[in-house]
Amino acid sequence: MSRFEKKVAIVTGAAGGIGAAAARRLISEGAQVMLVDLDETSLETLCTELGANSRYCVADVSNLEDAQRYCQQTVDAWGKVDVLLANAGIEGVVAPLHEYPTEMFHKVMKVNVEGVWNGLQLAMPLMAANGGGSIVITSSVAGLQGAPGMAAYVTSKHAVVGLMRTAALEGAPHKVRVNTVNPAPVETRMMRSLEQGMNPDDPGKVHDQMAAAIPFGRYASAEEIASMLLYLASDDSSYCTGGTYTVDGAMSSG
């Protein structure tokens, strides 16, 4: 498949499980990809694996100057931006709302919301000037429902759905599509961290309980989430914008 032949994509959070899976798929389907993350060692390793059609930029997505830098480096390398996978995010800690650390709440909101905000503000004009493009934001089933102990994360993932809907309306006249993907728990580092926070003595028990509560009986794989990200990034979804797309094994259907 060559859905992304001659397309230029930016993937934030590229060092994580979902971001790396999406980057591999984009490269395999012909894209040129800018990998963005704070973890330089992982970025360098992934870039070496992906080859000549990839570059990387060490950046904090919540910092506007860093966001400007990764966009500019992409344009300098390949002349345009067709796709932005706004995938970077952090989980925060697990704590009741009345005990949740205020500094951590602000940090989660800054990375998960301002990081997306910066990407939208900078990428949308670049895409509009080039005749259009697709932005896909990684939200969560936590962006559609609540979850005890995860006030900051849930709030941030609801917030990016609102950003997406506004951006989709503003982008439509310029052929810039904007959507969110809302996964169930995924077999990644983030879920290991949350499981540990929920039960430090037996995180595996949390994993098994959460998996059993999903109608499919398991977590998603990073590759399954990447498949939806790429569908929405590609021209296969040319009439899809302003939508929330669950990849959740029917978790949000109950």
Indicate which residues carry an active-site annotation.
Answer: 153
The neighbour count for residue 37, using CB atoms within 10 Å, is 26
The dihedral region occupied by 40, where left means phi > 0, alpha psi between -120 and 50, and beta the remainder, is alpha
Nearest-angstrom CA–CA distance, 116 and 97: 24
Which residues have CB under 8 Å from 231's CB, separation 6+?
Answer: 237
Q: Strands of 54-58's sheet, edge to edge?
A: 54-58, 32-37, 8-12, 83-86, 133-138, 176-183, 244-247
Terminal CA-to-CA distance of the chain, rounded, Å? 36
Q: Apex CA 130: angle with CA 172 and CA 229, to 5°? A: 60
Which residues have CB under 8 Å from 224's CB, separation 6+?
Answer: 186, 247
